[in-house]
Structures are given as C-alpha cells and as structure tokens.
Chain A
Amino acid sequence: MGGRDATMVLLDENGIRCDGRKIDEPRRIMIKAGGLKNADGSAYIEFGNNKILVGVFGPRDVHPKHMSNTDTGILRVRYHMEPFSVDERKRPAPSRREIEISKVIKEALEPAVMLEKFPRTAVDVFIEVLQADGGTRCAALTAASVALADAGIPMRDMVAAIAAGKVADTIILDVNNEEDQAGQADMPVGYMPSLEKITLLQLDGVLTPEEYKKCVDVGVQGCKVVYELQKKALTDKYFGKGGD
C-alpha cells in the first residue's frame, strides 16, 4: 500500500498517532492463561481491539497416522477468523490468508517447542480470532505461546510478538488496522527474549536499510514488553494465590 495516504492524520505534529498513542507505545494488552477446561492448555489475549482465543491439545496421537514422524513430534497450527471478527461477514472456510498465517505461526513456534521429546505424537494449536483489528498474527503468536506453556509442552523459551512499521516516514511500534492499511510498512516480529533470537520476521512495504534496522530494533524492544505480560499471565495462573 506504499504510502498512498501517508499524510492522512496518522501522525500529527506532536508525534501522536491516529488512536492517540505515542510512536513507541503499544496498544493495551491483556493476556489470560487457561480458561478452557477441555483443552490441555489455553490462553486468551486482548491486544487493542483484537480478541483471540487459543486452545492447545497434546502431545497426542497423530491422525492421520501417516503424518506422524518417528524422529520427533509434529506441530499443527490452525489460525481461523470467526465470520463476525471483521466488518463484513467473512466466509468461515479457510482462506488463502489464513492458511498462510497458520504456516507462519507454526514456523515461528517451532524453534521454541521441544517436540523431539515426543516422537510419533502431535501438538495441535487452535487459534480463533474473535475480533480483528490489525496485528492478529502477532497477538495470536503471543497467545499461542502462553497456551503451549499452559499445556506443559517443554519450550526453550516463550515467543513474544509485536509489529513495528513505518507511518508518515516515522518508525512506530504496534501497527493498528488503519496504520496497516494506509501506512508505508508493516513488520511483524516474533522474538524469544531469553535466547535473544528472532523466530518471525515479515515485511510488507519499503524501508531503507537504516529504517529496516531501526524497525527490527523497535520490534524487539516491543516484544520484551509483551513478554513481561506473558510472564505475568502464567505467574498469575500458577502462583497467584498462596505463592511467595
């Protein structure tokens, strides 16, 4: 969308964005671990106006059997948007975009999850987007990682994710729907904070090499903020009452 409306009102002269945030300020984030009784692990996230529910099953038997791998477990991710999650009814069948995001999230989680401990099994992650407002893949990845930890799947590290981007020639943190539509660039970043490794990096738009570096940096800093909230969600659930 190469900066068509870069001068809209995305960023005013005081450095305030269209929804009143500063350039390096994420939206309001609330994460809750658990909540679904029948899933082995679950999480709910509100990321600005995004509302996403994640359920995790496993490790469990693989069906169909031929998908199983004798060396390691497999991870399967389904990202799905509810028909009512967007302005105009979305057809519930998986679209090209949903299939792609499922794959992207799966590949962003794989470096963290220690599936080699469970050969011939599968871990299934179901992501349901109840309400979408830009940056769902980052919010979904963040919640999925909390749900996996809740399910007790061994992980090398949590994966936190947030988008950075460019609006009105300025690098910003946490791109919302308007900024995504009218902005100049959108870069989702997934990051493992303890291992200091990036597991997801996409870019839609045009950036100079300097801007690119700054954008990654801003994204990584944002992920550290998100990580603290993931940590809080899990601590609240497991050590909330009676803990020290």
Chain B
Amino acid sequence: MDNKRKYVIPGDVITTGPFRPEQNVILEGDKIISTTIGISEIYDDSVRVLTLTGKYIPKIDDLVIGKINSHTSLSWELDINSCYVGFLPAQDVFGRDFSAHADELSSKLKTGDLVAARIANFDRTRDPLVTISDRDLGKIDSGVLVKISPSKVPRLIGKKGSMIQMIEMATDAAVTIGQNGWVVISCESPEGLLKAKKAIEMVNEKAHVANLTDQIKDMLQIKDNES
C-alpha cells in the first residue's frame, strides 16, 4: 500500500497544509481531520477518506435498488436502505396523462416489489425523489437480493468495474449493484448464482484486505475446476 494511504478514525489529523477537503474530512485551522473510520487518500491538492462504516446517504444520479413500502394515490414510497424514504411519483410510471381516479398504482408496482431506480433529486429539505424512467431501470422481476454494507459498494465494483466484471465473467451472472448496498444477482444456472452470491458476500466481509481481488479470483477459479 503506498504511503499516502492511511487508516484513520474520527479526529485523526491526516495532514496539514493547503489541501482541499473532500469527502469525510473537515478543515480545522490548517489541520485536515477525518470525520469517520476509513482509509485516507491524499491527492495533489485534495484529501478524502473512504469510509468503512455508515448508512447510505442518497446522492443525485446514484443507482439504487428499492423496495416498495407503500403507496398513496399519487406516489409510491420506497425503502432504499437509508434514513430517508425514496419518493416515486406516479407520473414517472404512467406518463404525463396520469389521473389519480383512473389509474390504480398497485396495478404497476405492488408493495414488496423490487425496483432499480435512480435518485433524480435530493437535498436536505425533502426526501429523495427517485425515477425509474430510464434504460435499465424499473421493476426487477427475477434474481436474488443480497444486502451488503453501503460503504463497501465501491470495493465490490472495483477500479473501473474490475471486480464486478470478474465475478460476472466467472459465473455468467448479471449483477445489478445499487449504491445503497442492495445487490440483485440473476443467473440462468443455480451454481453460478450461488457462486456469485458467495463472492459478493466475501467482498463484503473482507473489504479492507489488500489483495482481495486475488482471493476472489482464487475462490472463483478453484470452484471452476471442481465443477
């Protein structure tokens, strides 16, 4: 591990000097202090901490997997594994000629359904607005839901998607990763499904290990030879 990366806990002074504080750090005088448990990274002019704990906080344009909790006559409410509920307006599904009398929301999405959605808008004054009107979004009909810690999602994706591509290639599974830590795996063969699930759970448990990619590779390939 290169020496610019460091394990930090809240209150640790990462560095001093003219750096720009980015995620999970604060500037206090000239000290840059971590606000969470994680790994600090110093770039040319900025400092940030990749967190290892914590809940999912919605961010605009994030892809999330949500579960329909309930609906009113105008909108659905989604559980997006966060401290806020996702808000999916009916117009998004029925189109602009939606009418609260004529259209029944539960005809399209029922309580308990899983959807792949994108955070369309979110600020601190209101709950996150989600949309499913885009390619690859919408109701998820088949697959297995795996819940991992939201802070480990970047590790599961890997650099430029390397980790998840490797898992997908080795198991022939299609994996949809929500930034909120919910992951849906669908696969034709049951073995591939189980293997992908195991690999994802392993990433979740061992996210801080340095040579995780090799370990995952080993695990997938050993299984390959056996079958």
Query: Which residues of A approach B to under 8 Å, CB–CB?
Result: 40-41, 58-61, 70, 112, 114, 117-121, 149-158, 192-195, 231, 234-235, 238-239, 242-244
Contacts and interface: CB of A to CB of B under 8 A. Distances in A.
Contacts of B9: 149, 158, 231, 234-235, 238
A112 B9 CA distance: 13
Given A152-B55, A153-B54, A242 B208 contact: yes
18 contacts: A114-B26, A118-B83, A149-B10, A152-B51, A153-B54, A154-B54, A156-B26, A156-B28, A156-B33, A156-B35, A157-B33, A158-B10, A194-B31, A194-B33, A231-B9, A239-B208, A243-B208, A244-B210
Contacts of B12: 194
A154 B37 contact: no
Contacts of A59: 55, 83
A21 B90 CA distance: 69
Contacts of A192: 11
Nearest to A234: B9
B13 A194 contact: yes
A244 B1 contact: yes
Contacts of B84: 120-121
Contact of A238 (B7, B124, B206): B7
Size class of the B contact interface (CB-based, 8 Å): 20 to 34
B70 interface: no
Contacts of B36: 149, 152, 154-155
Nearest to A195: B28
Contacts of B219: none
B52 interface: yes
A240 to B, nearest CB: 9
B109 to A, nearest CB: 22
Interface in B103-118: none
Contacts of A154: 10, 24, 35-36, 54
A157 B52 contact: no
B128 to A, nearest CB: 12
Given A194-B13, A238-B52, A242-B206, A121 B28 contact: no
Contacts of B52: 152, 238
B37 A234 contact: yes
A210 to B, nearest CB: 30
Contacts of A231: 9
Contacts of B13: 194
